[in-house]
Amino acid sequence: MGRISRLGNSLYTGERSIDFVGRRWLWYAISAAIVVIAILGLATKGLNYGIEFTGGTQYKVTIADGATQEQADDIREAIGGLGIPNADAPVVSTSGQNSILIQVEELSNAESVKVNQTIQDTLGVTQQDISQDQIGASWGDEVKNRALTGLVVFLILVVLFIWAYFREWKMSAAAIVALAHDVVITVGVYALSGFEVTPATVTGLLTILGFSLYDTVVVFDKIRENTKNLRANRTTYAAAANLAVNQTLVRSINTSLVALIPVGAILYVSAVQLGASSLKDLALALFVGMAAGTYSSIFIATPLLVHIKSNETEIVMAERRAKARARREADRYASVPAFTEDMPIGSDPDTGPGRGGVLVEERDDFDDDDFDEPGEEVGPRRPAPAPEAMGRGRTVPTSQRPVGRSSASGRQQPTRQPKSKRK
């Protein structure tokens, strides 16, 4: 068995455990710092909307011999070096085998003529091979409105689904907070990096919501399985939830790595080798969103769920029972009651076997019924007094010491006088 397999098995069985729930304030602080940085970047730099949202000019160049990526790189450098503010960062990509698309912001007539002439000189084409289109911002506004509508509908369906599946609105709240966490971080990365926001970005943003939700639902399902009966399992909600995260940890990491490796490869090729492409916008949203979704399902969703459920009566009682068991295990004699004159028969600590009775064994464990209601005094209940001996011709001898129940019979064993002394 490999090292990863052994680690996963020890985490699943509880032999090894990482305290995700107990350190929740540390995870909250880390997430809060990341979210604050993302919000500051969004507020100071803002988003770099693409031509589809702001409007601009698009040139489509047809090359009879076939378009190559080298030609796209050359025309990008040539147009970027013209010194035109709205064309200093053109978006250039190949379209099919014989076309190159060039997108810039809105240009004046003189600037448009200059860009057109640069395309002809760099690629060796004529004016007939170049088609020019103006893109208005109205279509981008429609895309934004549709994206916001889809996001709202998605969040409503997520809340209803989790509430119907788990019958727990607090799980829905924790999942929504984790989703918001992922969206804010992804948008903040776009603002800080300066990547363009295009319709492909919107598609990637909506995709990562589903990925993050999938990972969170898997963890929540394991939590529900582990917390079905806290009284019978003799554990707390926090411990059971933390065990669920450890049991799904290796699966979450493996799933995320399998998804992030190809997305990272696409991001590298599109951003470094292709320079500018719609693939870059889609890949960045997917990469950041998947990484944030994995983090939130482990470090945010589950600790937050335990936090908001910590005041429920059943969970509070489970915590009290766990603390009582911990005190007893630390000092098993701490729960022995002090001697009093009115103690029941068999409770005298000086009583021992062979001295007129059988010593009543101490309780080895606290029963869960000892802590049924909040505020009830923690401690073992006193055993019921032993029944008196009954029956014709039998008398109970004078007790020299407390008498316990005999292990040889289900009733007390009285003594009888010899025949010579009977009347």
DSSP string, 108-163: -HHHHHHHHHHHHHHHT--GGGEEEEEE-SHHHHHHHHHHHHHHHHHHHHHHHHHH
- 186 contact partners, CB below 8 Å, separation of at least 6: 205, 208, 285, 288, 289, 292
Distance CA 396, CA 402 (A): 13
Q: What would the mean pLDDT of 289-314 be, rounded to a whole number?
A: 88
How do residues 88-111 score in pLDDT, each as one tens digit? 778 787 776 778 888 887 777 888
Share of the chain above pLDDT 70, in %: 72
Q: Which domains does the chain have, with CATH numbers?
A: 22-49+156-315 (1.20.1640.10), 56-135 (3.30.70.3400)
- 127 contact partners, CB below 8 Å, separation of at least 6: 116, 120
Q: What is the pLDDT of residue 39?
A: 92
φ/ψ (deg, to 5) at 179: -65, -45
Torsion of CA 343, 347, 352, 356, to 10 degrees: 60
Q: Which two tokens stand for residue 192?
A: 């800080």
Q: Which two tokens stand for residue 331?
A: 């000092």
Q: What would the mean pLDDT of 29-54 be, rounded to a whole number?
A: 87
DSSP string, 246-311: HHHHHHHHHHHHHHHHHHHHHHHIIIIISSS-HHHHHHHHHHHHHHHHHHHIIIIIHHHHHHHTTT
Cα–chain center distance at 315:
20
Cα–chain center distance at 92:
39
| pLDDT above 70 (res 339) | no
> In this predicted structure, which of 37-41, 222-226, 376-380 has the lowest mean pLDDT?
376-380
Whether the Cβ atoms of residue 56 and residue 105 lie closer than 8 Å to each other: yes
| pLDDT above 90 (res 29) | yes
Distance CA 391, CA 409 (A): 15
Bigger pLDDT: 331 vs 35: 35
Distance CA 31, CA 33 (A): 5
How do residues 153-208 score in pLDDT, each as one tens digit? 877 887 788 788 777 788 888 888 888 899 899 889 888 888 878 777 888 888 88
pTM for the structure as a whole: 0.65
Whether the Cβ atoms of residue 196 and residue 50 lie closer than 8 Å to each other: yes
Which residue in this structure is represented by tokens 């810039």? 104
Q: Which two tokens stand for residue 67?
A: 């378009």
Q: What is the pLDDT of residue 354?
A: 44
